[in-house]
Amino acid sequence: MDYAEKYNEWLESPFVDEVSKEELRSIGNDDNEIRFRFSTALEFGTGGMRSKMGAGTNMMNVYTVGQVTEGLARMIEEIGQHAKDSGVIIGYDSRNNSSLFARRAANVLSSHGIRVFLFDDVRPTPELSFGIRYLGCTAGINITASHNPKEYNGYKLYWDDGSQPTSELAAKISEYIDSVDVLSGAPTDDKCDERFIKTVGKEIDHAFFESVLGEAVNPEIVKKAADGLKIVYTPLFGAGAKFVPEILKKIGLTRLVTVDEQMVHDGNFPGLSKPNPEYPASFELGIKLAEEVGSDLIIATDPDADRVGVMARDKNGCFQAVTGNQMGSLLLDYILSSLKEQNSLPEDAYAIKTIVTSEMATEICRRFGVKLYNVLTGFKFIAEVIRQHEEAGDGTFILGYEESYGYLKGMHARDKDSIVASMLICEMAAYYSLKGMTLIDAVDSLYKKYGFYTEQSAEIYKEGVEGKREISEMMDLLRNDPPKELGGNPVINVRDYLNQTSLDVRSGKVTETGLPRSNVMYFKNDSKDIVVARPSGTEPKIKFYILAYGESLNESRENAAACKLSLEKLLGLRPGELKK
């Protein structure tokens, strides 16, 4: 059945509601839109699924949510009664239709006699991960599209350890999903059995807060600095609105000022093209407020409160963004330094970062004698290392993080956690404020201590079916004709994570990468500069990461710019076409 036939099937189906049919009729003359919506099914992977909301097989709607949940229900049934009784916890963020999709998932599961724990309101993603472990659930579902534009929503699946599924598990779940007809395969809402649905909230909130508070490194330091520490916070209309202010107050912060316009749950994210704390534009209202109240620090979390971004004053009194790479290095250095000062740094301590995250972490861990793991992009790979140590009964987890503003300290969750990160950022800001330093000053001190690292990222969006093909062609080019030089320096190492090979260019020796299969290419030159390319698993884009090193900050920035120019030339792009 081609895309046009699928389109007509939806128009004629008795299972499709009239509002959806009217939406489909409105695009009847737009062949490109019909093709986008119906030429493929919404793909379920290790990150779940994510797309624009609307009618169609490639869109987020009650039908695709029902199909995926029915596949999950059938798999849980096959596992056995214990899995059904352990149940599934369901959370959702502040996006439009998130609560609707969450309820749809609950209805499908309950119709199979599977126990459901449904949060009573918007909750942070890390609390969903925590809730799985706290309740001993078989799985968890979180309805969120994280930091995507308002048109998007998504469906994240978590397994019994609180992390997202491995590739093998996701592939197995996909087989069940593929056996379900998107329109007629899942039970209708009138088949819901309310006896199996329990509303949850405050009990899990309390346990979650207690676990997060237990991760403080210097529990009293915020109280010592409270008089001189004023912080502005915005949840960007999302799930952090209640949780971040509460945790900061619990550790002793008395001068917290919130961006009130953005403290409400609003899935339209007014004034924001993307509710993403990675982008300085998200801080516009926060900066205005900080100038009014005289704050040196602004914290922002994304709609599902798993990521956190920060802006701090520099020596000239201007606000600068602290990048995800810089914040990860700051937290790692602060935690390890504090533990060492307290004579409580474990001998078996380990940290985890992704291959696209700053190499400064390598030097920090080397200096402290801490083992560092490098994993593929995606917090599930960080969670996998934690799980392996937990099962083996060895190692003390210190910190896991990725450049895209995601950090985790503690064993309470298996996904990035902006609540614990915000607490530690506040604590760290207090530590440096007592030394007369802002976090920008602290970043400068890290460069002087560990070396000069500059990280840049860029992306190219390619929408639709044609866009997928173009992204695939770019990856094929990098894989089949890898660059000989980057930034004027010869490439000495080429890693193809799809084929799991690592080529030492000088010797010609090929070894295994030691990491799972993934469509990622990695290049390193003889000046220690690194370029990584990977298509996004959740958005129609290809991302490039440049990790540069230099003998000074200017040199590292120049090396990053030169590598970017080499990449643009290789891809046949105009200079400057690769942008953040």
Residue type at 291 in one-letter notation: E
The token pair that represents 145 in the structure block: 């599209």
Helix H or strand E segment including 209: helix 202-213
Helix H or strand E segment including 504: strand 501-504
CA distance 291 to 342: 36
Helix H or strand E segment including 90: strand 88-92
What are the φ and ψ backbone dihedral angles of 562, each rounded to 5 degrees?
-65, -40
Q: For 174-192, what is the mean pLDDT?
A: 96
Q: What is the pLDDT of residues 70-90, one digit of tens each?
A: 999 999 999 999 999 999 999
pTM score = 0.94
Q: What is the pLDDT of residues 315-326, one digit of tens each?
A: 899 999 999 999
* 146 in active site: yes
Q: What is the pLDDT of residues 396-413, one digit of tens each?
A: 999 999 999 999 999 999
Q: Is 459 exposed, middle or buried (0-12, 13-18, 19+ CB in 10 A)?
A: middle
264: confidence class by pLDDT, cuts 50, 70, 90: very high
DSSP label at residue 262? G
The token pair that represents 352 in the structure block: 């985890």
pLDDT confidence of residue 344: 97
CA distance 84 to 58: 29
Set out the domains of the chain in order of their start, with CATH numbers. 40-200 (3.40.120.10), 214-450 (3.40.120.10), 452-571 (3.30.310.50)
CA distance 471 to 70: 32
pLDDT reading at 43 higher than 90: no
The Cα angle at residue 307 between residues 305 and 311, in degrees rounded to 5: 110
**Which of 110, 111, 146, 433 does the annotation list as catalytic?**
146
Helix H or strand E segment including 297: strand 297-301
Contact 429, 231 (CB under 8 A): yes
pLDDT confidence of residue 538: 64
Cβ–Cβ contacts within 10 Å for residue 489, how many?
17
Closest by CA to 410, choosing from 378, 383, 435, is 383
